[in-house]
Amino acid sequence: MKRLILTRHAKSSWDDPLTPDHDRPLNDRGKAAAADLGQWLASRGYIPDEVLCSDALRTRKTWSGIAPALPGSPVLELKPALYHAGPDVMLAVLRHAKGDCVMMIGHNPGIAEFATRLVAHAPANPEFHRYPTGATMVADFNIDTWEQVGFGGGVVDDFIVPREIMA
């Protein structure tokens, strides 16, 4: 059995229009949401042992907001291929994972389609197909290694968006 925690980066800042997309930081709402996501994950025992993260600033800052709430120190791997990756690239990156519980932090529109294609049945949450900033899905796969992961094989355990945590 393998578990995936699939997170879209938290809300980023558009304050400086000259900042390249790759270098946009989180805004204050995004920083708070990342911390809330960390608390939510810890409270439910969703603890990654490996983190595959786009190398964009907003994904790295999302992880650095989540990490303090989690016990241990999972292996963080920055993956440039995850920057604005589509579902096929995301799947290829995941197939190289080694952990039993892997967290992947990426971007839309690819992450929304990836989540939809990964699971056999979408959760009832109306935000799932939109996958807004900070959206996080936890899904289990009945596989022995990540090399075996494929589309349609996941079972959703949980799905949350930050405003649901704050409510």
Buried (b) or exposed (e) across 20-41, using 16+ Cβ within 10 A? eeeebebbebbbbbbbbbbebb
Choose among 151, 76, 165: nearest CA to 116: 151
Choose among 107, 81, 109, 108: nearest CA to 95: 81
Distance CA 109, CA 81 (A): 14
In a domain, 40, yes or no: yes
Domain that holds residue 154: 2-10+21-121+150-166
In a domain, 102, yes or no: yes
In a domain, 64, yes or no: yes
Distance CA 62, CA 67 (A): 9
In a domain, 129, yes or no: no
In a domain, 54, yes or no: yes
In a domain, 138, yes or no: no
Give pLDDT, residue 18: 87
Yes or no: say if 102 and 146 are a contact pair by the CB < 8 Å rule: yes
How large is the C-alpha radius of gyration of the chain?
A: 14
What is the CATH number for 87?
3.40.50.1240
Tens of pLDDT, residue by residue over 141-167, are: 999 999 999 999 999 999 999 999 875
pLDDT at 122 over 80: yes
In a domain, 143, yes or no: no
Average pLDDT over residues 110-131: 96
Give pLDDT, residue 167: 56
Task: Give the chain's domain count.
Answer: 1
**H helix runs in 53-94, sequence order:** 57-66, 87-94
Give pLDDT, residue 19: 86
In a domain, 134, yes or no: no
Tokens (6 digits) for 44: 């439910």
Tens of pLDDT, residue by residue over 40-90, are: 999 999 999 999 999 999 999 999 999 999 998 888 999 999 999 999 999
Q: What's the whole-model pTM score?
A: 0.96
Q: How far is CA 163 from CA 8, 29, 77, 127, 158, in A?
A: 14, 10, 28, 11, 15
